[in-house]
Amino acid sequence: MLFSCQDATPKVKKKPMNPTKTILNPTSTFSGNFTGIHNQKEIFLTLIPETGSKKVNGSLIIDGRKAKIEVTENNGICNGKITEEDTKKQYSILIKFIGQKLNCTIPFPEFNNQVLSFNLDKSSLTFGGNEDSIVIENGTTITNGNSSGTNGSNHKRNPEVIGKWRFTEVLSSGSGEFYASFSTDYFLRINADGTAITWTGKSVGGTNAVSIEGSYGTNVQQYQWYTNGKAFHFVNPQNNQEQVVNYYVEPYRMMFSYGNNKRVYQRIN
């Protein structure tokens, strides 16, 4: 599920009040990219209106989990459904502008109609997915292809990879009383603004008789990043040199592969 029931607000009956009119943003349309944070979970939403129609399609990504959006606009409000990519569960969704904010409301029938509501801001970031797809850039529908420049604003970034990740490398040798093992954690923080940080975590290991523990938080390196199809680009901000690896991402794990080397990262809080 996109959110646990703890993220939602119970739907309760309220005493009648004077009706308040929702202030819609007259200069905004239901198109483009939007970002926000709810309960420390990063949210990314893309809306793509169909030409000559009131239908609006798009995607919603919450903490790496993706759902398809299918709504219809009527009088400044979008009503429709979302479909979770991994579970195929469907929920109703209402989308509207409140001032400059894009407000989304999702009820959960299995939790006594508790309601999840969050606000998003319009984003200048360009989102792209694992595969070639249609994205919105500067209000124009374009197709996912090669971009010019080094980590410029034209580069697309897959929001599914954003977050904190950990890869644990385990080395072992010998057997019996001569058995020895050593494990090291490697961390990767991928940010929505196109920056990324890597660092080495704690190393532990030893033999049956000796234990070893290394330092934590060493070898910190900063990068810029973007994605193009199935390629993940690490860019050195000092000299603009790029390292390109293939990647595959799921809600809670991501694999980098380059040559015969593969690293499987786990998403962590």
For the chain, 269 residues long, the average pLDDT of each consecutive 10-residue run is 56 51 49 89 90 92 90 94 92 95 93 91 69 32 34 72 91 67 89 90 64 62 94 94 94 92 90
What is the model's pLDDT at position 136?
30
Of 123, 150, 169, the one marking the end of a domain is 123
**pLDDT score for 8:** 61
User: Do 165 and 261 belong together in one domain?
Assistant: yes
Domain assignment present for 13: no
Same domain, 255 and 209: yes
Clarify whether residues 253 and 195 are in a common domain: yes
Q: Containing domain of residue 69, as a range? A: 22-123
Please report the pLDDT score of residue 201 as a whole number: 85
| Among 204, 241, 252, residue whose Cα is nearest residue 63 | 252
Based on the structure, what is the number of domains in the chain?
A: 2
Helix/strand/coil for 92: strand
pLDDT of residue 30: 92
pTM for this predicted structure: 0.63
Q: What is the pLDDT of residue 46?
A: 92
Dist CA 31 CA 46 (whole Å)? 7
**CATH code assigned at 179:** 2.40.128.360
Q: What is the pLDDT of residue 215?
A: 58
CA distance 102 to 120: 5
Distance between CA atoms of residues 89 and 181, nearest Å: 43
